[in-house]
Structure 1
Amino acid sequence: MDSKLDVNATHATSDSLQYEDEPDNTINDAARINEETCSQEGAYAGYQATVRDVDECEAEPIIPPLDSHRTKADSFIIAPEVEAETALEGKDQLKPGPRSRIRKCFGTSSPHTSAWNPSFRRSGPVLGLSVLIMSICTIFVSLGILLGSHEKPQRLWTWQPTVYLAISTAVSNACLGYAFSQALPSAWWYQASKGAAVRSLQRRWEVGQSVFQAIAHIRSPDRLTLASLLTALVLIDGPLLQRASRVESLSHHELINMSIPISPELPRGFSGVQKLVEGGRMVRIWQDVIDVGEPWKAGRSIEAPGVACEGTCRGKVLAPAISLQDCTYKSRDMPAETMLNNASFSWSDLAVTGPNPAFFVLISGPGIHNGIHAEKSALGVGKVNLTYTHEEGDVMMHGGSFNLTRCILQSAVGEYDVEIQNASISISKPPRIIALANNTDYTYEHTETWQPNTFLGLVGGYVSGNVSANCSFKFGDQGWALDVQTKDSNTNAYQIMGGKIEQWRDPIPDTMNQINNLFFRAGVLAAQYSNTTDLIDNGLSVKQTMEALKEVTELCYVSNMRWWAGAAALQIFAILSILPVYWGYWRLGMAVTLSPFEVAKLFGAPMFDTINSTFGAKGVVEKMGGQIVRLEVRGKEDVGMVKL
């Protein structure tokens, strides 16, 4: 391009750039141009400059000091020859840029509407402030995630809460970074508008570019340095929020209603038939007894059709039980001196146990000889309680007593505390007797005919054989001693071991628990028969509804809000450190950036003389978007941008 360039710049209208408090003939002395080659007429409100030789004269726009006055943008008329010449260099140089309403909302300048307006009534940097608000919202989002997942089962969450926390953290950090980058230009130019050393401006620019520079300049901190450090430090809120959620095994409780099919009492004639004879009784048991007794002997779990609980369900249900009635207690002394060398000494008159029992558990059914009528049975428990006293020669002397307990067993309705896990039912403690069963005949005497047997088949066929025990003493060279040949597993289960004692625990609680467990199983089986309701007492039903406390133990998410509080506090500090950086936006009269074109224009680069400074970088691109420039060496120690 020819080095000779004539530029005629005149103001088109009376709306030219004017200061309200200055006269029109005010001239900036610092911007006077060589009077020999350049003429300047009129006030700052308009000037006309003719440049005949670029090398001889440089025309610079006169920029007034920044203050709180509102001004209007300059309007330029470009000489036709210049317009034609620049049109050859780029077709889009002088085309007006697209006007957008969004620019005004987001605080960006338009080269056709820019005006110096340092006022709080100007629309703020909406985009920068919006992302700060969004960052604040992520604090509450993370709080909602942690509260919403606290003690909630892991199976209800497709993704872990930490995934959502990571997304929230990423959004928050991105918002803070963007908000800081949007505030940086206003802070930098605001500092420049107040007057600052070049070194200070360079330091502020470096602080805004890198947290490492902020650390390097930590000895002279300011708001921009603090904002840069906290914007970088807020990245650690990600690990903090990850620690705020963990997985633990927790138990949840809720009340539910469960349908339990079980008969409250044994149906009449459930276990078979019997008849009394002179020698005792004869019993025939049904298959039902076998179906109930075999799983009981094997120790298998109790299962009821259609009954299941996901977790553990606890409640109360009515079921068949056994009741102890008319118990009698007898005790006989066994003095050591009487037992010494007395082989004929006896302490029991029961024929079934012999004269010298040590421990026994016996269940006897109805019979003429014992006065027990049908549908009743007797439980007898005997045990000695001997303690070592002294020795006489080779003989160990023991003294104590023999205790005999005798009770009548009778069918009843019991209230059981049950525990259901999945499909397995267990009895947690002995039942509470609600009432005696009235559906059995307790009155018939000796008869040659078969009569319904409601529970004796169960007791006689299975309970007696599994709980009975009979261990005896015998007299020998060392006096009375336990006959080991009569001991069995049941005897050993209740014997209290000790070198100087012969004692046994009370077997009645365990015996009753075993019988009740068997009866409970019988009630579950009886409920499956269609005629059971007709064979039990009126008012009872095999279809029971149990109110159960359901406890489910499963993996759940647990939130630790202390970690969230730390992350939230750090994020709030970062937001509060960025907000003051935006102060310069309202103190400046225009939206600014740190674009190299905008910096060059405001520092008076001759290349952009024809562009109003308030137009910013967008004005440069709007007016000179097609201009080709290049960085080239001007001398041995100088480089610069030149037009092509």
Structure 2
Amino acid sequence: MDAEKIQSRVAVQPVHDQTYADDDSVQNARWITGVFRRLPWIGLAAIFATIGAAASAFAILRCSKDVRTDHWGVKNVPAPSPNVLLSIVNSITNLVLLAAVGQGYAIAWWRRALEGSTVTELHRSWSFSSSTLSILTSLKSFNTIALAALMTKLTILDGVLLQKATSTYLAYDTDGWGVDLKAYIATELPHNYTGIMYGANDTASLYTPEFLSVMTAYRANGGLIDFNAGNAIPINFNHSDQQYYDPVNLPQPFGVSSDYFQGCSGSCWGNVNAAGLWWDCANATEPWAANVSLSASNSSQAYPLFSTSFSVNWYDQSANSTTIKARIAYVNSVEGENGTCPGVLTTQTCVLRPAVVTYGAWISDENNVTDADSSKGIGLSSNAKAGINLKAVPTTLHGLTRPDLYSFPATQLANYASLVETPGPNRRTTMGGIELALNTLFASSASIEWTGPSTGWSLTTSGSTAPFYFSADSSVDVSSLCNYTLPLGVDPATTTIKTSLDEILFRTSLHAAMDGHPATVQQLTGTNQMAYRQYYKSDYRWLGGAVASMLLAILGIAPSYYGFWQLGRRVTLGPFEIASALQAPILEHPAVASGQVDDLIEHVGDRRVQYGLVPEVEQPKLVMAEPDRVARPAYGPRGRR
């Protein structure tokens, strides 16, 4: 079929030979110039939209500056993050600039054609609008179309600059004082909960499984109840998310949730009532080895320097309860004259009574604290410093200076409780298990003994407490063995021993609630909160660079609009509009007289055309023509380039 088209000429009436004298739709040529008649509304709207986009970018950065990321939104409705909004603004800017430069291309090209130009110049100007390579390889022919195209393509930098204009940073939140915190915790020690007495002994020999879980976690994590530990106390977590000592029949203190502390969103402090032991102590002092030459006695008597011991009083009538007696003795001594070793022996006797104790609790929410230096969990406020980065805390925060943030009250007595137990073989006990824990952790002693003229004095210690607290004066020759003292102001009963016991009993109260023993939901008092949060940061320098890029694009496009008032009709760079202006026969129609491409398409848009070979007398041509006149190009001697 294609070969027949080439070999024979088909008689087709040329389009330009057709008459349309009776076509009432044909319009005469219209050429109406003027500033207002030919004002490029699309281009102007695009320019103003670009300016509006720049203003929107500034508004986004201004509104998001120093705003917490989880507070970003309108009336508690989350909004896209600033970088997403800036990406949208950048996309809109690129679209409107493309619309503006497209109209500028058409105006500049048709003005050049109106003033008269060569086909080469017109082709080169058209190619500038579609190819950056054409601009770079034809710098000698650089014109307003090339300028507009180049400046528009450089707006790719806007996206990078706008993204650099917004970022995030971490800082402590300053609006969390008086936060609403609730706790579910036991306020009394359960009966028979901590120890087991075997045989005829009236003291506990082993921990119960429940208390063993408490002590194991305490030895592993110290004063912090770590969320990540296998027996952690849940806070804002469901039991299915953690492993616990007894996953069966766990209480649900807050409805469907099994949280034991609620309301914290960061690092929180507050006072909570829980089960504990209250220390009632009395001190007594007496001279120790005063004016006595120990070495002269030449005896093997041991002189105690330090001792801690604990025992159960199964019924203390004055307390109407089983209690624990703690005895702590320590010597402060110096080297005297003539071989003497004068000093003072202080004996501290304390009765540990069951009580409801007000603890200063510290809570750290794992989901919200992002400080790498922070620990996550629950503990007493005495350990709060372990869970917060002091360097990052502002010097002042809501009128409180930084040291005041850590001046939390010590434990306070809410009221005494009664827990009467009877010793017996193979029985469980609560006070006996606590006594076992105290003796295991803190029973200790230190003493000196004369061992003879050749060896002199010998110092003996046992347990961990004595070496931890009892120290020699390093400025004095240690051979005297007389210069022993506790650090100034250190009180064993109110430092490590009491603090550690408070932590153990606080853990016990939480585990007792978790195990289903009587507990209450209570509102914490004196609450405070500091949250190490993520905030949005705005850098207007990068925004300035992006806005400058937008303005340069507008300035680069503006020259292409020059002389728009000289054009008497709407113009585009559409191929059929240009072909019509070049008098292509296939587009011949009286509507061409108007010059408007819309009029042209309305009248000739249904004509079928095809690109291919049209046979001629001299040589076939590759043109766009009626389908009946063309054949598909084929590779061959005559078709080879």
TM-score, length of structure 1 as denominator length: 0.59
Name the CA shift for 1:152/1:441 in 2 (closer, same or farther; >3 Å).
closer
Q: Is the counterpart of residue 179 in structure 1 residue 100 in structure 2?
A: yes
- Give the equivalent residue in structure 1 for 2:245: none
Question: What is the distance in 2 between the residues matched to 1:372 and 1:600?
Answer: 110
**Residue 465 (str. 1) matches residue 382 (str. 2):** no
Shift of the 216–130 alpha-carbon distance from structure 1 to 2, 3 Å rule, reads same
Which structure has the greater CA radius of gyration?
1
Write the mapping of 1:609-624 to structure 2, written as runs, cut at 5 A: 614-616=594-596
CA distance in 2, matches of 1:245, 1:111: 58
* Shift, 1:231, TM fit: 0.7
Q: Matched residue of 2:450: which SS?
A: strand
What is the aligned partner in structure 2 of residue 296 from structure 1?
Answer: 215
Aligned to 1:11: none
Match for 1:88: what amino acid? Q
- 1:491–1:583 distance in 2 versus 1, CA, 3 Å: same
Per the TM alignment, residue 520 of structure 1 is displaced from its structure 2 partner at its CA by: 1.9
Provide the C-alpha distance between the structure 1 equivalents of 2:184 and 2:298, rounded to a whole number of angstroms: 58
Cα distance in 1 between the residues matched to 2:348 and 2:457 = 23
Matched, 1:489 2:464: yes
CA distance in 2 between counterparts of 1:563 and 1:324 reads: 63
What is the Cα deviation at residue 614 of structure 1?
Answer: 4.8
Letter in 2 for 1:325: D
Q: Distance in 2 between matches of 1:369 and 1:642?
A: 115
Corresponding residue for residue 416 of structure 1 = 360
User: 2:382 is paired with a residue of what secondary structure?
Assistant: strand
Query: Shift in Å at residue 511 of structure 1?
Result: 0.4
1:112 match: secondary structure: coil
Residue number in structure 2 paired with 1:440: 418
Q: Is the 8 A contact 2:451 2:458 kept in 1?
A: no
Name the counterpart of 2:370. Answer: none
Q: Would you say 1:321 and 2:297 are equivalent positions?
A: no
CA distance in 2, matches of 1:386, 1:126: 98
After superposition, give the CA deviation of every residue in 1:183-238 in whole Å (9 maximum; x if it has no partner).
12213444666789999988866755554565678799876554333212112223
Distance 1:238 1:527 in 2: 55
Q: Residue 38 of structure 1 corresponds to which residue in structure 2?
A: none
SS at structure 1 position matched to 2:259: coil
Q: How many residues align?
A: 513
Q: Do structure 1's residue 332 and structure 2's residue 295 form an aligned pair?
A: no
Matched to 1:414, the amino acid is T
Q: Over aligned residue pairs, what C-alpha RMSD do you find?
A: 6.1
Residue 235 of structure 1, aligned match among 156, 169, 175: 156
- Separation (CA, whole Å) in 2 of partners of 1:456 and 1:521: 15
Instruction: Specify the code of the residue in structure 2 equivalent to 1:573.
Output: L
In structure 2, C-alpha distance between the alignment counterparts of 1:546 and 1:519, rounded to whole Å = 18
**Distance change in 2, residues 1:382/1:184 (3 Å):** same
Alpha carbons of 1:197 and 1:467: their partners in 2 closer, same or farther (altered >3 Å)?
Answer: same
Q: 1:614 to 1:521 in 2, by over 3 A?
A: same
Distance 2:189 2:423 in 1: 24
Q: Tell me if structure 1 keeps the 8 A contact 2:265–2:365.
A: yes
Q: Is the 1:114–1:590 contact (alpha carbons within 8 Å) kept by the matching residues of 2?
A: no
Q: Matches of 2:208 and 2:31 in 1, distance apart?
A: 103
Shift of 1:510: 0.7
Cα deviation for residue 318 of structure 1 reads 1.1
**1:524 positional shift:** 3.1
Q: Does 1:571 align with 2:550?
A: yes
Q: CA deviation at 1:599?
A: 6.2
- 1:605-635 CA-partner distances (Å, limit 9, x unpaired): 9999996765255667757978999999999
Query: Aligned in 2, Cα 1:224/1:617: closer, same or farther, shift over 3 Å?
Result: same
Aligned with 2:308 (options 351, 361, 367): 361
CA distance in 1, matches of 2:417, 2:624: 117
Residue 255 of structure 2: aligned partner: none
Pairs within 5 Å for 1:571-590: 571-579=550-558, 581-590=560-569
CA distance in 1, matches of 2:287, 2:549: 83
Shift of 1:475: 0.8
User: In 1, distance between residues paired with 2:317 and 2:33?
Assistant: 116
Residue 89 (structure 1) aligns with: 14
Q: Deviations over 1:408-442 (max 9, x none)?
A: 43333223223255695322328734435333389
Contact 2:309 2:327 in 1 (8 A): yes
- The equivalent of 1:425 in structure 2 is 378
Letter in 2 for 1:122: R
Q: Is the 8 A contact 1:327 1:406 kept in 2?
A: yes
Q: Match for residue 262 of structure 1? A: 185
User: Helix, strand or coil: the match of 2:13?
Assistant: helix
- Mapped partners of 1:569, 1:471: distance in 2: 78
- SS for the counterpart of 1:414 is strand
Deviations for 1:299-351, whole angstroms, at most 9, x for unmatched residues?
264626623679755232111233333432525356698344344698xxxxx
Query: How do residues 73-152 of structure 1 correspond to structure 2 at under 5 angstroms?
Result: 88-90=13-15, 112=27, 115-122=30-37, 124-129=39-44, 132=47, 152=69
Deviations 1:447-494 (A, max 9, x none): 9999x999743443322332111121111236763433x423333333
Residues 283 and 92 of structure 1, relative CA distance in 2, 3 Å threshold? farther
CA displacement, residues 356-382 of structure 1 (integer Å, 9 cap, x when unaligned): 112211234449999998544443322
Structure 2 counterpart of 1:36: none
Q: Mark the CA change 1:184 to 1:283 in structure 2 (over 3 Å): closer, same or farther.
A: same
Work out whether residues 215 and 229 of structure 1, in 8 Å CA contact, stay in contact via their aligned partners in 2.
no
Cα deviations by residue, 1:258-302 (Å, 9 ceiling, x for unpaired): 54222334468977999xxxxxx9957799966335522552646
Contact 1:292 1:518 (C-alpha < 8 Å) held by counterparts = no
The answer on whether the counterparts of 2:49 and 2:93 sit within 8 Å (CA) in structure 1 is: yes
Q: Is the 8 A contact 1:265 1:437 kept in 2?
A: no
TM-score if structure 2 supplies the norm length? 0.59
Q: Distance in 2 between matches of 1:139 and 1:245?
A: 14
Correspondence for 2:403: none
- Three-state SS of the structure 2 residue aligned to 1:417 is strand
1:243-262 matches, within 5 Å, as 243-244=164-165, 257-262=180-185
Equivalent-residue separation in structure 1 for 2:304 and 2:20 (angstroms)? 122
1:51 counterpart residue number: none
Deviations 1:504-530 (A, max 9, x none): 554331100122123223433554688
Distance 1:617 1:294 in 2: 87
Contact 2:28 2:594 in 1 (8 A): no
Sort the Cα spacing of 1:242 and 1:455 in 2 relative to 1 into closer, same or farther, 3 A: same
Call closer, same or farther: CA 1:294–1:237 in 2, change over 3 Å: closer
Match of 2:103, SS state, is helix
SS at match of 1:429: helix
Over 3 Å counting, the alpha-carbon distance change for 1:384 and 1:189 in structure 2 is same
CA distance in 2, matches of 1:273, 1:158: 59
CA contact (8 A) 2:188 2:276 kept: yes
Q: Please show how residues 386-401 of structure 1 align to structure 2 within 5 Å.
A: 386=333, 401=344
Deviation at 1:182, TM superposition (A): 1.9
Contact 1:289 1:457 (C-alpha < 8 Å) held by counterparts: no
Q: Distance in 1 between matches of 2:568 and 2:604?
A: 21
SS of equivalent to 2:277: strand
CA contact (8 A) 2:192 2:430 kept: yes
Structure 1 unaligned regions, length at least 5: 1-85, 100-109, 275-280, 347-354, 533-540
Alpha-carbon distance in 2 for matches of 1:410, 1:556: 48
Aligned position for 1:64:
none
Corresponding residue for 2:391?
none
Distance 1:92 1:524 in 2: 101
Counterpart contact for 1:319–1:416, Cα < 8 Å: no
State the SS of the aligned residue for 1:381: strand
